[in-house]
Amino acid sequence: MNLPFITHKSESKRDIFLIIAVVLLSSLILYIPFIFNAFSWIGFQVPTQGMLSLYQNFDGLLYIVPAKAWYNPEAIAALRLEQTLPAEYYAAHLPMYPAFIAVFGLLFGYLKAMIVVTLLGAVAMALMFYKLTKDFKLTAAPLILSIVLLFLPRLFVVRSVGAPETLFIFFILSSIFFFEKKSYLLAGYLGGLAAMTKTPGILLFAGYALACFEYYRREHKINWQWLYLLFIPLGLVAVFALYAVQYGDFWAYFNTGGVVPMPYPFSAFNFQAKWVQTAWLEEIVLYLFIYGFAIAQLKDSKQRSLFYFSLVFLVASIFVQHRDLSRYLLPIWPFAAISYEKVLTSKKFVVIALLLLPAIYLYAWNFTLYNVLPISDWRPFL
């Protein structure tokens, strides 16, 4: 409903406030059974340690190690971790998220900082998505779509525990926003930060290369400002240079033993694989169909980077041999949401989503109680 005394500016301020409130309040509700040790109220008969049980979720604590030791093998050994992991293992956890944990750890302590950074990343991610969809008129209901974005069940979990995904997706959305604004310096810089957060950030560069090539074929012109996009691979080179200094191995990331293999297409469908170990994988087919169809619908988008980045990311993801492929696909969820925006902002969908909200919370509680790193000595993480 449009009221004559409400300006677009005041509407935007209201929307921003609502998005921030939804991000924080929805996660706070998730935390309540942890804070009060009240899982028996919702049917879970499991021993918990309050918020410590939430902090235990993979892979949050593993990012605290580089936040404290900065990939120095001697400093890692000095932490006296009970996990018998080689120092090189932490090279699989790129430095941007740990860097933020280290900064906020000065104020909150490392465990709380891990959650604070995730929540701030979630706020930034949602607001950037709102700005992207509003400025480029990608939906008639950017507020509703931004809120719907937040409640994809797997994203709801990772935006509430220790995880780098919210920061990663924020950098991706910001980079794409500035790419489409033709601010290639900022697009390259933010893309470089994405690559320093998680290695798939390098796929932004591949998506942009395809978008630039399409422009060149159509216009027969080269924009030399595209060279700023080289900051994206340079971001990853900077990470590897850090590893060369700390580990004495430029390629330490590939020698961690923790890098998920990508042996062949659809390799997740192998119950014998190390990171799979189950045959109950039918939802992966559904995810691939949903994302594949969404990308097909983005093919004619005026914002070419949305299509090309999503396409490159999906093609790369089908090689990932991991049970949790729904998490690996999260960076293209915002673009799938844009593709399906008419459905996702419809009254029927919103009503069904609200009816299923208790199921989303039960899924999140069930997952966070199960997906934990066993810890008996918390001292290295304090």
Mean pLDDT over each residue of the chain, to the nearest integer: 94
Q: Are residues 267 and 323 in contact, defined by beta-carbon separation less than 8 angstroms?
A: no
Q: Which of 37-46, 112-121, 133-142 has the lowest mean pLDDT?
A: 37-46
What are the helix and strand counts (H, E) for the chain? Answer: 18, 0
Mean pLDDT of the 322-329 span? 95
**Residue 346: its pLDDT value, please?**
97
* pLDDT-based confidence at residue 65 (cuts at 50, 70, 90): very high
Residues in the chain, overall count:
382
CA dihedral for 24, 59, 324, 196, sign (positive or negative):
positive
Q: What percent of the chain has pLDDT over 70?
A: 98
Q: pLDDT at residue 6 above 70?
A: no
- The CA-atom distances, in angstroms, between 70 and each of 58, 195, 240, 281 are 19, 18, 13, 37
Mean pLDDT of the 282-307 span? 96
* pLDDT-based confidence at residue 314 (cuts at 50, 70, 90): very high
CA distance 200 to 331: 9
**Residue 3: its pLDDT value, please?**
37
| 303: nearest Cα among 176, 153, 196, 144 | 176
Q: Are residues 141 and 133 in contact, defined by beta-carbon separation less than 8 angstroms?
A: no
Tokens of 254: 């590939």
Q: Are residues 252 and 88 in contact, defined by beta-carbon separation less than 8 angstroms?
A: yes
* pLDDT-based confidence at residue 4 (cuts at 50, 70, 90): very low
Q: Are residues 339 and 298 in contact, defined by beta-carbon separation less than 8 angstroms?
A: yes
**Residue 144: its pLDDT value, please?**
97
Helix 304-317 and helix 203-219: axis angle, to 10°?
140
- The CA-atom distances, in angstroms, between 302 and each of 185, 223, 235, 308 are 21, 18, 28, 11
* pLDDT-based confidence at residue 256 (cuts at 50, 70, 90): confident
Which helix (H) or strand (E) segment holds residue 257: the answer is none
Most confident range, picked from 72-86, 109-123, 364-378: 109-123
**Residue 355: its pLDDT value, please?**
98
Q: How many CA atoms lie within 13 A of 298 on its CB side?
A: 27
